[in-house]
Amino acid sequence: MAERSQGLGTLSGPQGPVPVETPPSFKWTRRGFHSGFIKGIPLALSIASYGFLFGIIAKEKQVGFGAALQMSLIIFAGTAQFGALDIWHATPPVLALFFQTLVINSRHLLMGLALRNWYRGASRPVRYISAFFMIDESWALTLNELDSATTDAGFMIGSGSVMYLAWALSTVVGYSVDFIADRRFSPEKLGLDVALPCVLVILVIPRWEGRSSLLPWICAALVSVLCDRWLPPGWNVLLGGISGVLAGSLFGRLEKNDD
């Protein structure tokens, strides 16, 4: 990523120009919000298709309507929510869910860091609100916008908002589709019991990064299968995931990933 030029502006307060290392001129405007909102629509549609599935599968897994909607409204993280459905029970494994969500979403740490040239001058409230709306899609769109020299945090909040609306609404629609109630179309006959792993497969395909992914993926799969046999539900994902990351980190080569 190219280092953005910064420190060119000077802060001129009432006391006159202040000779400090100024952060890049930073805005948070309604215009940026609108721009993000509009440009976010195509990706929001693709998110809606996942939200629709989330609603359907949540119902199939006997998650209550309120709980499914709450998840989409306050968690707002596709992979983590599908992962939660995977280990969901009438009495949910609270700790496993918490740690699994931490592990699944840990990539957001890196994504946030990747925006630092843009956000370094931002106030805390702006950062913390932006963070809520930073999902994979809005982040990618924002990085793209960053290249065209915009410095408007409204953009990520705007694009995240349209995706947030799409995610919540499509969850409701998916949950409300009532064909499961008709027993002629049982979930098994429709193949819906396999829908979740199929979605996970769809999500994992773009994560393949060539040969450097081979060892971590094998380790993750092996450890996960073993844990699935011997441990309570949910831990297979956490421990398998950590094994994969460790394998990739300890035995992988560094130079391929320096862009």
74 contacts other proteins (rule: CB under 8 A): yes
188 contacts other proteins (rule: CB under 8 A): yes
Residues between 119 and 148 with contacts to other proteins, criterion CB under 8 A: 119-120, 127-128, 130-132, 134
> What is the SS3 assignment for the chain?
CCCCCCCCCCEEECCEEECCCCCCCCECCHHHHHHHHHHCHHHHHHHHHHHHHHHHHHHHCCCCHHHHHHHHHHHCCHHHHHHHHHCCCCCCCHHHHHHHHHHHHCHHHHHHHHCHHHHCCCCHHHHHHHHHCCCHHHHHHHHHHHHCCCCECHHHHHHHHHHHHHHHHHHHHHHHCCCCCCHHHCCCCCCHHHHHHHHHHHHHHHHCCHHHHHHHHHHHHHHHHHHHHHCCCCHHHHHHHHHHHHHHHHHCCCHHHCC
Least Å distance, CB 18 to other proteins, is: 19
Q: Which is nearer to other proteins, 7 or 197 (CB)?
A: 197
Residues between 148 and 167 with contacts to other proteins, criterion CB under 8 A: none
The binder of other proteins chosen from 43, 57, 77, 162 (CB under 8 A): 77
Least Å distance, CB 16 to other proteins, is: 27
Q: Which is nearer to other proteins, 28 or 99 (CB)?
A: 99
Size of the site for other proteins (CB under 8 A): 97
Sole window of 2-10, 30-38, 62-70, 171-179 interacting with other proteins (rule: CB under 8 A):
62-70
The binder of other proteins chosen from 11, 41, 177, 194 (CB under 8 A): 194
